Structure 1
Amino acid sequence: MTTVTTTPVKTSTVDLTGVSHWYGNVVAVNDITLSVGPGVTGLLGPNGAGKTTVLHMMAGFLPPSQGTVTLDGRPTWRNPEVYRALGLVTERESVPGYLTAQEFVVASAKLHGLNNPAQAAAQAIGIVELDEAKDRRISEYSKGMRQRARVAAALVHDPSVLLLDEPFNGMDPRQRLHMMDLLHRMASEGRTILFSSHILEEVEQLSGTVQVIVAGRLAASGDYRHIRRLMTNRPHVFLIQSSDNRTLATILMGLESVSGVELEPAGLQVRANDYGSFTRALTKVARDKGIRLTGVLPSDESLEDVFAYLVEK
């Protein structure tokens, strides 16, 4: 395996300000403002939500019909210089199967005008751990290996920003874990990594920072747990364990912030209609009645619940 020496990567930020894009009379992206910096960020949304359009505008493939898209303050549209700092892995595979990974990545290095294409290709192939298979034709690769070859080609010029459109499509669990580990390692070097997905668990496992797009609009932005807690109108479900579950259940049923309580073997399942009011009241009730709380766990604290709520809204 090639020994890979990593050096700190220049940090970069991609900004969209009041961005819209329409195809004829169809609005694909509607007035989105967001900023993506170093680390791994997930771009989440159902198919057709506008994720690919956002990525293509970030990559300079599409102009914003309205607003601005910049990389470190420079517009991405009609500005070839941004490609020195940007790598893109599209959803659609377009790699000639007759090439080896070595040939494919070297060709990408040459297109970037690098001084030593072979050395740059070896570095990128080492990062994605394809050393042992670099001389095999890509047509012989598994889906996960082909994705890694494409990531290597996108990384060959050592960009500070990497954009990936549905990178886990078609991968088996082992390949997905390998790709997640790779993205985490690259983010730890200081890179800005944005990947799109319509699979909720992918974003939840890989990134705590989420940009949620629904019907072309930015529905939520930030840490997904924080986003959930900001939605005070949405019911929240908690599993509560205490020194006296029966007494606590009776008291909680009288709170305005509680809409339901069920006594289960594992504890109390409490449905609250206001996160903040309930958590404050729970602490006070337990203290006043001398009940010791041994566990307060949000039982529906998942990105899937956040996403379902946003789609409904």
Structure 2
Amino acid sequence: MSTVELDQVSRWFGNVVAVNDVTMRLGPGVTGLLGPNGAGKSTLINMMAGFLAPSAGSVTLDGRPLHRDPDIYRVLGLVPEREEMYDAVTGWDFVLANAKLHKLRDPEGAARRAIATVDMAAAEDRDIRGYSKGMKQRIKMATAIVHDPEVLLLDEPFNGMDPRQRLHLMQVLHDLGDQGRTILFSSHILEEVEQIAGRIEVVVAGRHAASGDFREIRRLMTQRPHQYTLRSTDDRALAAAVIAEPGTSAVELVAEPGGGTSVQVQATDFSAFVHALPRLAAQHGIRLLEVRPADESLESVFSYLVAR
């Protein structure tokens, strides 16, 4: 059972700060690294994999610095986001070559087991150049687990997979986590992470924004102020009705560029607002024409967590 620790880690490239003062501890089980694109997830994973040295702070595996220590790859497996593979070889040859590089006692047996685990036996004799995106992701996964590592790092591993492939890989990660492996996988999709991760670490703009299980992260997200754009048959009456609700903090009647109006609402209590809105419309004889969240992007959600 291995532990990866990041202690006040920063990484910059020239004047660009990619990771800023992140402290994190990853133990046995499945941990999700969640954040929007460009949040610094890949940079963090590259430091945990020993490819990048932190500009400040330390990244260790069981107390041992990771950077430029090739021996760590005996106990660490990696699925990078970028696809730089030997397309002219078969899936079998690619996984077998990795097994031989690890000097395993039975490389053929290890390759066979890894390929079966990711459900790629039917395509193992085909050249990788003919694989779909999802198949390439799975064969990369096979190379990462062929030596039975204690630590597994996966950067956006579900990209390009169809629903069946995704469910299968999720079950594989579940099983490996239950065996006591330390697994970290990154994603920008909360629903993807919460299905398999016992713990979630949220990063935004290189900063560690939040930490906890998916219920805690969901709670933090739903508690933030939510903004909505409303259009109705009587926007002025709707604005007057909505502002009287306790879960509403601000209401503005806005003139639309093409004519007409809309109501901009900021709600501090998400649950109370979504239940009150149809009731208010019915009470005042107003027909709702549009209810649109104005700030539901991951960037806005996570930026709120950073600002807390």
Alignment partner, residue 155 of structure 1: 145
Alignment partner, residue 99 of structure 1: 89
State yes or no: 1:14 paired with 2:4: yes
Aligned-residue offset at 1:129: 2.2
Alignment partner, residue 113 of structure 1: 103
1:23-74 deviations in Å (ceiling 9; x for gaps): 0111100000001111111111111110000000000000011111011111
| Structure 2 Cα separation of the partners of residues 131 and 171 of structure 1 | 17
Q: 1:38 to 1:170 in 2, by over 3 A?
A: same
Aligned-residue offset at 1:196: 0.8
Q: What SS does the corresponding residue of 2:195 show, helix, strand or coil?
A: helix
Alignment partner, residue 259 of structure 1: 247
Q: 1:22 to 1:259 in 2, by over 3 A?
A: same
1:25 to 6, 10, 15: 15
Q: 1:195 to 1:233 in 2, by over 3 A?
A: closer
| Structure 2 Cα separation of the partners of residues 274 and 178 of structure 1 | 34
Q: 1:305 to 1:95 in 2, by over 3 A?
A: closer
Alignment partner, residue 211 of structure 1: 201
Aligned-residue offset at 1:208: 4.1
Q: What SS does the corresponding residue of 1:17 show, helix, strand or coil?
A: strand
Alignment partner, residue 43 of structure 1: 33
1:230-285 deviations in Å (ceiling 9; x for gaps): 6897359xxxxxxxxxxxxxxxxx99xx526xxxxxxxxxx76599xx9xxxxxxx
Superposition TM-score, scaled by structure 2 size: 0.73
| Structure 1 Cα separation of the partners of residues 124 and 221 of structure 2 | 49
Aligned-residue offset at 1:182: 1.9
Superposition pairs of residues 277-288 of structure 1, within 5 angstroms? none
1:75 to 28, 53, 65: 65
Alignment partner, residue 311 of structure 1: 303
Q: 1:231 to 1:139 in 2, by over 3 A?
A: closer
2:76 to 66, 77, 86: 86
Alignment partner, residue 288 of structure 1: none
Q: Which residue identity lines up with residue 86 of structure 1 in the other structure?
A: L
Superposition TM-score, scaled by structure 1 size: 0.72
| Structure 2 Cα separation of the partners of residues 179 and 138 of structure 1 | 19
| Structure 1 Cα separation of the partners of residues 192 and 183 of structure 2 | 14
Alignment partner, residue 55 of structure 1: 45
Aligned-residue offset at 1:219: 0.3
Q: Which residue identity lines up with residue 310 of structure 1 in the other structure?
A: F
Identity %: 61
Superposition pairs of residues 213-228 of structure 1, within 5 angstroms? 213-228=203-218
User: C-alpha root-mean-square deviation of aligned residues, in Å?
Assistant: 2.7
Q: 1:188 to 1:79 in 2, by over 3 A?
A: same
Q: Which residue identity lines up with residue 194 of structure 2 in the other structure?
A: E
State yes or no: 1:184 paired with 2:174: yes
| Structure 2 Cα separation of the partners of residues 124 and 219 of structure 1 | 35
Number of positions where the alignment pairs a residue of Structure 1 with one of Structure 2: 248
Q: Which residue identity lines up with residue 31 of structure 1 in the other structure?
A: D
| Structure 1 Cα separation of the partners of residues 298 and 197 of structure 2 | 14
Q: What SS does the corresponding residue of 2:60 show, helix, strand or coil?
A: strand
Aligned-residue offset at 1:160: 0.7
Aligned-residue offset at 1:87: 0.5
